[in-house]
Structure formats: structure tokens, C-alpha cells
């Protein structure tokens, strides 16, 4: 097994967040198109760069918005735990972040009293409406109807629905940043996805992604990090469908260079287990067949050029490759032209600081966070 560091370095955190956001920016314009339509529009090799779509070229998707808000909420949870000396608020703060996002999308919901806010919600790119998923919106509206935003509605034991859509897994990569173990990361990622997706194949992939990212940002190689995550998956009720999807992805890696037709044998990516399998396949294929411009260039193009949910599958691939290699995994033009790139960099720096060996603290307080930090990340 490869080396595991105690804390995730900023470069790996930034790579994970940037990679996921870049993946959605590439994939969003071709989401839902067939492979034949992609080739008809962009040539025999398919999409190779940012293009205009429902939003200008380089724009991030709603999935990326929620991934970034997940990272912010996890920092808020850590700040709260250090300030009050107690934990247990993560699920509530995540739900509050998602409800805040829902309001920013222009959805009318009952007054929630107070939502957790945070600096990221003031970024226009985070609230710009980018075709949010119907299952996600319906689940969040149901949570909002209770007027108790800090009390998670959807849980593994009491599911909010029976959805196994991929909208749960796509936001969970940051759940691998701040936990002490891969097992803890798996549980946080699983539970974050279960807030809106009740089927095991809707939330267990979130645990797998989070636990894999946990190992990658701490220096593990991708095969080792995924093996640990799959060990956690294997003991979860209802894991069989996700396990089979990952088995199929790994068998495909051994079959040689990646092709869109091979990707499509894993499904379209609309469900959690399919999106995870395609993202994992593309990441492994990129590391095995990488090109001179870095694994992210190949991996993300493998992950977007297929019939189906291209932005979600590319997001997962980008999370994995960025967590393992840092931002340099991706071509500089993609990094430079990404919407909200500066906000992503600031958030990554804050995550690395809060989850590192010396989070911001007032002298003589036993580690309590200072007021400027709690103002930036209100604890609820």
C-alpha cells in the first residue's frame, strides 16, 4: 500500500475541486446528447475543449456548485466543532447549504429562519441557475417544508425517496478532505448523498468517492485508495449494484486503450453507480494511457464523450485525477478559463488550512477559531 499522509496538502485539495469543476464545464454542453450527435457536432474525436451550451463556455454546472457548497459546509462543521467542543452538526449544515443554494436558484420555499450562509453563497457563479435536477429539487423542497433546515430529512435509515440518480454522488468528493480515516470519509459521503437520494445505489457511490478521495489527497495511488473504499462499500447493505458496476469498470480497464464504445458498455451515467463506474474507468484509463499534457486531458475527454450524463461522469473523473495529481493534471487553458476559478482556489486554501495541522485559532483559547474565521464560516 502507498504512503498515507496525516493531512491533505492544498495542492491535492485544489486539484480535486478544480478537476471536478472543469469536468462539469466540459461535459455540460453535451449532457444528454448521443455519441453520434457529439461526433456530428464536434468531429470524429468528439468534444475536445470548452464550448458554449446552456451557459457560456467554461461555466460550471449545478453539480459543481453543490460540490463547492459541500466543501464550505464541511469547513463550517469543523469550525463549529472546534468552537463549541462538540460535533454532530455536519448533516444539518450540509442540508442548510443545499437549501441556501435552492433559494439562490429562484425556487420559492417556506421561510427557513436562518441558513448557514458563508462567503461562497455571495459568488454569482454559485447561484446561477444551471438546470438543477428534478429529484434533487423535489427532495430539498420536501426538507424545506418542515422549516427545520438544520435537521436532516433524508438519511440512510429513513430515506427521503427511492432515487438512485447520480446527483448524490457528484457532490461528495470534499467529504474525503477532513475526516481522520477513510471509513469516516465513506460515512460522511454516504450520508451527504442520502440527504437527497434514498436508494443504496444513489448514496453508496458517494461513500466510495469520498473514501477514495481521502486516500488520494493523502498520497495513496488510485488502485490502493479505491481498494480501501471498496472494502468499506462491501459491508454496506445494498452494495451489490455499486460493486458490480465497479467490477465492470475495472475489467474494462484491462481491455486496452479507452474508447467511447467501451465507456457506453458501463451505462449512461444517469444513476449513481453508473456515474461512479464511468468516472473511475476514465481515471484509471488516463493513468494507464496518459498523454504528454497530463492525465486530466485524456481522462476528462474519455469521461465526456459518450451518450449520457457527461458532466457528472467527467466531474467524478476530475475529482479523482485532481486529488491524485493536483491541478497540474489538467491543461492550463482549462484551468485559466474556468468560471469561478478564483473562488475555487480560495476555498481549497481554506479547506487545507482548516483540515490541516494548525487550523486558525486564537492564542490562549485551547484552539477556538478566531472571529474573522467564524464570520467567514458561520457555525450555525
Q: 41-45, 113-117, 218-222, 244-248: which range is least confident on average?
A: 113-117
Pair 377, 118: CB distance under 8 Å: yes
User: In this predicted structure, what is the pLDDT of residue 70?
Assistant: 98
Residue 235 lies in a domain: yes
Cα–Cα distance measured from residue 280 to residue 169, given in angstroms and rounded to the nearest whole number:
13
Residue 87 lies in a domain: yes
Asked if residue 294 has pLDDT above 70, the reply is: no
Task: Identify any residues that bridge with 165 across adjacent strands, giving them in sequence order.
Answer: 271
User: In this predicted structure, what is the pLDDT of residue 351?
Assistant: 98
pLDDT band at 16 (very low <50, low <70, confident <90, very high): very high
Residue 1 lies in a domain: no
Taking only the tens place, the pLDDT of each residue in 163-176 is: 999 999 999 999 99
Asked if residue 116 has pLDDT above 80, the reply is: no
Mean pLDDT of the chain: 93
pLDDT band at 290 (very low <50, low <70, confident <90, very high): low
Buried b or exposed e, range 95-120, using 16+ CB within 10 angstroms: bbbbbbbbbbbeeebeebeebbbbeb
Q: pLDDT: is 225 or 5 the higher one?
A: 225
User: In this predicted structure, what is the pLDDT of residue 4?
Assistant: 84
Residue 7 lies in a domain: no
User: In this predicted structure, what is the pLDDT of residue 376?
Assistant: 92
Question: In which domain, by residue range, is 133 found?
Answer: 17-376
Q: 7-21, 92-106, 216-230: which range is least confident on average?
A: 92-106
User: In this predicted structure, what is the pLDDT of residue 178?
Assistant: 96
Cα–Cα distance measured from residue 302 to residue 96, given in angstroms and rounded to the nearest whole number:
35
pLDDT band at 122 (very low <50, low <70, confident <90, very high): confident
CA-to-CA separations, 339 to 40, 59, 349, in angstroms, rounded: 27, 5, 18
CA-to-CA separations, 187 to 112, 182, 235, 365, in angstroms, rounded: 27, 9, 12, 31
Of the candidates 241, 226, 229, the residue with the CA atom closest to the CA atom of residue 272: 241
Q: 108-112, 116-120, 134-138, 261-265: which range is least confident on average?
A: 116-120
Domains: count for the chain: 1
Residue 10 lies in a domain: no
User: In this predicted structure, what is the pLDDT of residue 65?
Assistant: 97
Neighbours of 366 (CB within 10 A): 8
Share of the chain above pLDDT 70, in %: 98
Taking only the tens place, the pLDDT of each residue in 127-151 is: 899 888 889 999 999 999 999 999 9
Asked if residue 380 has pLDDT above 70, the reply is: no
CA-to-CA separations, 223 to 213, 278, 288, 324, in angstroms, rounded: 12, 15, 11, 11
Asked if residue 360 has pLDDT above 60, the reply is: yes
Of the candidates 244, 250, 235, 332, the residue with the CA atom closest to the CA atom of residue 288: 250
User: In this predicted structure, what is the pLDDT of residue 368?
Assistant: 87
Residue 5 lies in a domain: no
Q: What is the dihedral of CA 322, 325, 326, 328, to 10 degrees?
A: -100
Residue 12 lies in a domain: no
Residue 9 lies in a domain: no
CATH of residue 345: 1.10.4080.10
Q: pLDDT: is 362 or 282 the higher one?
A: 282
Cα–Cα distance measured from residue 129 to residue 149, given in angstroms and rounded to the nearest whole number:
21
List the grid coordinates of 114. 436562518
What average pLDDT does range 272-295 have in this prediction?
Answer: 87
User: In this predicted structure, what is the pLDDT of residue 133?
Assistant: 84
Taking only the tens place, the pLDDT of each residue in 338-348 is: 999 999 999 99
Pair 45, 36: CB distance under 8 Å: no
Asked if residue 87 has pLDDT above 80, the reply is: no
Amino acid at each position: 500500500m502507498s504512503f498515507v499522509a496525516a493531512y491533505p496538502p492544498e495542492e491535492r485539495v485544489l486539484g480535486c475541486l478544480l478537476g471536478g469543476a472543469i469536468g462539469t464545464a466540459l461535459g455540460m454542453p453535451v449532457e444528454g446528447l448521443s455519441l453520434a450527435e457529439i461526433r456530428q457536432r464536434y468531429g470524429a474525436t468528439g468534444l475536445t475543449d470548452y464550448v458554449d451550451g446552456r451557459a457560456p463556455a467554461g461555466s460550471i454546472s449545478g453539480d459543481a456548485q453543490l460540490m463547492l457548497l459541500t466543501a464550505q459546509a464541511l469547513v463550517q462543521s469543523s469550525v463549529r466543532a472546534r468552537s463549541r467542543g462538540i460535533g454532530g452538526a455536519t448533516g444539518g449544515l450540509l442540508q442548510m447549504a443545499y437549501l441556501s443554494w435552492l433559494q439562490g436558484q429562484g425556487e420559492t420555499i417556506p421561510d427557513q429562519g436562518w441558513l448557514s450562509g458563508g462567503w461562497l453563497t455571495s459568488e454569482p457563479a454559485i447561484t446561477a441557475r444551471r438546470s438543477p435536477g428534478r429529484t434533487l429539487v423535489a427532495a430539498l423542497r420536501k426538507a424545506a417544508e418542515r422549516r427545520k433546515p438544520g435537521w436532516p430529512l433524508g438519511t440512510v435509515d429513513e430515506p427521503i425517496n427511492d432515487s438512485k440518480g447520480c446527483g448524490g454522488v457528484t457532490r461528495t468528493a470534499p467529504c474525503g478532505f477532513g475526516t481522520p480515516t477513510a471509513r469516516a470519509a465513506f460515512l460522511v459521503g454516504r450520508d451527504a448523498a442520502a440527504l437527497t437520494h434514498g436508494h443504496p445505489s444513489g448514496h453508496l457511490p458517494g461513500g466510495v468517492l469520498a473514501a477514495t478521495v481521502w486516500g488520494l489527497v493523502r498520497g495513496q495511488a488510485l488502485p490502493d485508495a479505491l481498494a480501501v473504499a471498496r472494502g468499506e462499500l462491501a459491508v454496506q447493505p445494498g452494495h451489490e449494484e455499486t460493486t458490480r458496476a465497479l467490477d465492470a469498470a475495472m475489467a474494462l480497464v484491462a481491455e486496452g486503450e479507452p474508447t467511447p464504445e467501451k465507456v457506453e458498455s458501463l451505462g449512461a451515467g444517469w444513476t449513481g453507480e453508473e456515474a461512479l463506474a464511468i468516472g473511475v474507468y476514465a481515471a484509471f484509463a488516463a493513468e494507464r494511457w496518459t498523454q504528454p499534457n497530463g492525465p486530466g486531458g485524456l481522462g476528462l475527454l474519455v469521461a465526456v464523450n459518450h451518450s449520457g450524463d457527461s458532466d457528472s461522469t467527467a466531474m467524478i473523473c476530475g475529482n479523482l485525477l485532481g486529488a491524485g495529481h493536483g491541478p497540474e493534471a489538467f491543461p492550463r487553458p482549462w484551468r485559466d478559463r474556468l468560471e469561478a476559478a478564483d473562488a475555487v482556489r480560495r476555498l481549497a486554501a481554506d479547506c487545507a488550512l482548516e483540515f490541516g495541522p494548525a487550523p486558525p485559532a486564537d492564542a490562549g483559547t485551547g484552539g477556538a477559531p478566531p472571529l474573522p474565521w467564524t464570520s467567514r464560516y458561520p457555525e450555525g
